[in-house]
Amino acid sequence: MTDKQSRIQALIHSIIRYLETRRSNACGVDLTLKKLAGMDLCESRLIDTPPQGTRHDEILKDAIAGIAAPELHEIASCLAASRDDLVWREDNAQFYPPGADLGEGYTKCNLHTLLIGPDACGYHHPDFSLGIFMLGPRTLYRDHDHDAPELYLNLSEKSGWRFKSGEWQDYPAGSLIWNEAGEPHATRVYDQPFISVFVWLENVNSRCNVIHFDDWAEIEKDLAQEKN
Ligand SMILES: [Fe+2]
């Protein structure tokens, strides 16, 4: 195992260890841990992929530096150590139906790396994804749904979420968000970049459907102007 692979493996295991401390906290944690327990995450199965950097590297550094909660320290230090080993990608049209109205903020700055999944830089899995997801400051990730059930582990200090057509609510670092398959959700990002662990438990090749809300323009204007 190369040093690069051992850093990636350490990151994956730091995430699993955190999830183990949060069993039964959100519906998807137990399901995720059950799926992970059925995988062979040994050294010999690690993929050796050339790293791929990102044009958003400065924002990514800020996002990682902003992970301050003591209980997330291990994930934060493993992520900082492996940042340059990972394959960073931006979402592109293949994830969305043609003409999807994602908005300027999302298009301008979204980023992810897949640690487990199809085309991952850690372990291959055909129908399960686990990775790190980042959005730039003051971004609205507009309301959307997908056939993949999804778990988020929020690493950044504060992020706003709404589910279905409900009210916005802020979530702290270390919080878990569970989105059942097909349930609409949206995220808003304040002054600091958003960074999280994300898991898609199945149907990982399903597309995201953007669900129109009349208040997008107003929210995006507020995020651009206000100090949050
Ligand atoms: Fe989602």
Q: Tokens in use for 93?
A: 């049209």
Cα–ligand 1 centroid distance for 4 (angstroms): 29
Question: For the whole model, what pTM was predicted?
Answer: 0.96
Cα–ligand 1 centroid distance for 91 (angstroms): 12
Q: What is the pLDDT of residue 227?
A: 59
Ranges in the chain, pLDDT < 70? 93-94, 227-228
Cα–ligand 1 centroid distance for 81 (angstroms): 27
Q: What is the pLDDT of residue 101?
A: 82
Q: What is the mean pLDDT of the chain?
A: 94
Q: Domain residues of the chain, as ranges? A: 3-225
Q: What is the CATH number of domain 3-225?
A: 2.60.120.10
Q: Tokens in use for 86?
A: 């990972």
Q: What is the pLDDT of residue 100?
A: 77
CA 154/CA 201 separation, integer angstroms: 17
Cα–ligand 1 centroid distance for 78 (angstroms): 24
Cα–ligand 1 centroid distance for 107 (angstroms): 15
CA 85/CA 6 separation, integer angstroms: 10
Q: What is the pLDDT of residue 94?
A: 66
Q: What is the pLDDT of residue 93?
A: 62
How far is residue 29 CA from its own chain's centroid? Answer: 15
